[in-house]
Amino acid sequence: MSRFGYLPHTDEDRAEMLRALGLERIEELFVDIPPSLRLNSALDLPKPMPELELGKHMEGLSRKNRHLGQLVSFLGAGAYEHYQPSVVDAIISRSEFYTSYTPYQPEMSQGLLQAIFEYQTMIAELTGTDIANASMYDGVTALAEAALVACQHTRREKIVVSGTLHPEARRVLQTYANGQAIRMIEVRHDGGLVDTASLAASVDEETACICIQYPNFFGGIEDVREIAELAHARGALLVVQTYPIALGLLEAPGAMGADIVVAEGQPLGISLSYGGPYLGVMAVKEPLMRRIPGRLVGETTDAQGRRGVVLTLQAREQHIRREKATSNICTNQSLCAIAATVFLAYMGKEGLQELARQNYHKAHYFRARLLEVPGVEPLFDAPFFNEFTVRLSRPTADVQRDMLDRGYLFGYDLGKDDASLEGGVLVAVTEVRTRGDMDEAVAAIKEVLAQ
């Protein structure tokens, strides 16, 4: 390793670099920066520690965190505690996958390319679409990219967004829209589902797409067919952000008229990991094939007629003229995509259906038990998959704090995003929760609300 690499620079190193630059002092590099913006004191850092002492210090800091091995979680809202088969880590930890980057040379990358091809195939089947891509950052940015695809395809500059879409997703969409001079219209919800009358009134001949979530942020199951018909009647596309585990039980969005389906792939065998890295899933109907960002891996044959796998389409700015690119997506999430592929292959059709059934039935059991507790009322009554809403008689933050003291992560505070939902909590239940977990949580919430 060069002494100018990752190792700290000595005084001699800095002096040598300054000589090479023809400078006498480091401050000369910053003459164009106003003095008011400069840090004129040393960084407030602790003194260096020996390696053994530093290791103990870091261990002490880590013990301040509480992880899901110590807590019982009913928190979802976009990231979920699901079963992770050990085979997933065993396979993605192999050096062929773990250290690989973009498979630019197909003759050297057949294994990785085939894995991505299998991922695309499974995602297309799961979502009821024709084509899936690879290499999206995460579910929310995949949604924003899907809205841009719709605008480019329809040559329109207005998107209509359901108020039942995750509030963070709506904020990201707004950021993308502002950067592209796209007009974004948000439609209110009614009883935990999008208000279809308001939605119909907001869609016109200038609308590129409608964006909805299925199941939605509140856990409710939207009528995708009705919304698809509404969009297509005005020449707009339907973009659906979905929850892949739910598709083991619910009808695929693509089969009900969705043109673009996106999802957060974290539930497919990827750990929560303090928020990432995650996996952006995107799949489309065939007419949008040349608009989809990222990469498309396809099959071919070589000169000897043998089956081969190659990068077929790459519509990102790294590969084609910038003005022709559909996106500047330029990362490689293939390791997470392979994790999802291993998970789906391991679970199979019947396994995914059983997984979805357990999520559904356990969530409905827990909701019924919670509603028996004085001080817990239903917030919305729409059909749901594995997330639901309740309203508490005490301030949500106080209840969550007291439940955390008892070892529970009790849901997502809806009042943080919408004052009209003050006291509302979004509760998630996955297959990892046992009947004992839920019964003990009900007893704990009963104590907390009685305080």
Do 72 and 404 meet the contact criterion of CB atoms below 8 Å apart?
no
Do 267 and 432 meet the contact criterion of CB atoms below 8 Å apart?
no
Do 293 and 136 meet the contact criterion of CB atoms below 8 Å apart?
yes
The pLDDT tens digits along the chain (451 residues) read 333 334 578 889 999 999 999 999 988 999 999 989 988 888 888 888 888 999 999 999 999 988 999 999 999 999 999 999 999 999 999 988 888 777 878 888 899 999 999 999 999 999 999 999 987 889 999 999 999 999 999 999 999 999 999 999 999 999 999 988 899 999 999 999 999 999 999 999 999 999 999 999 999 999 999 999 999 999 999 999 999 999 999 999 999 999 999 999 999 999 999 888 999 999 999 999 988 888 889 999 988 999 999 988 775 555 556 666 667 666 668 899 999 999 999 999 999 999 999 999 999 999 999 999 999 999 999 999 999 999 999 999 999 999 999 999 999 999 999 999 999 999 999 999 999 999 999 999 999 999 8
Do 428 and 74 meet the contact criterion of CB atoms below 8 Å apart?
yes
Q: Are strands 207-214 and 237-242 parallel, antiparallel or unpaired?
A: parallel
pLDDT at 100 (0 to 100): 76
By residue count, the chain amounts to 451
Give dist(CA 48, CA 445) in Å, integer: 46
pLDDT at 330 (0 to 100): 61
Vertex 348, ends 343 and 352: CA angle to 5°? 80
Helix (H) / strand (E) element for 391: namely strand 387-392
pLDDT at 98 (0 to 100): 86
Give dist(CA 320, CA 109) in Å, integer: 22
For 40, other C-beta atoms within 10 Å of its C-beta total 6
Query: Please, what's the b/e burial string for 52-75 (b: 16 or more CB within 10 A of its CB; e: otherwise)?
Result: eeeeeeeeeeeeeeeeeeebbbbb
pLDDT at 4 (0 to 100): 34
The neighbouring-strand residues paired with 42 are none
Task: Read off φ and ψ for residue 88, nearest 5 degrees.
Answer: -65, -55
Do 256 and 224 meet the contact criterion of CB atoms below 8 Å apart?
yes
pTM: 0.89
- Helices 435-449 + 334-370 axis angle, to 10: 60
pLDDT at 324 (0 to 100): 64
pLDDT at 10 (0 to 100): 87
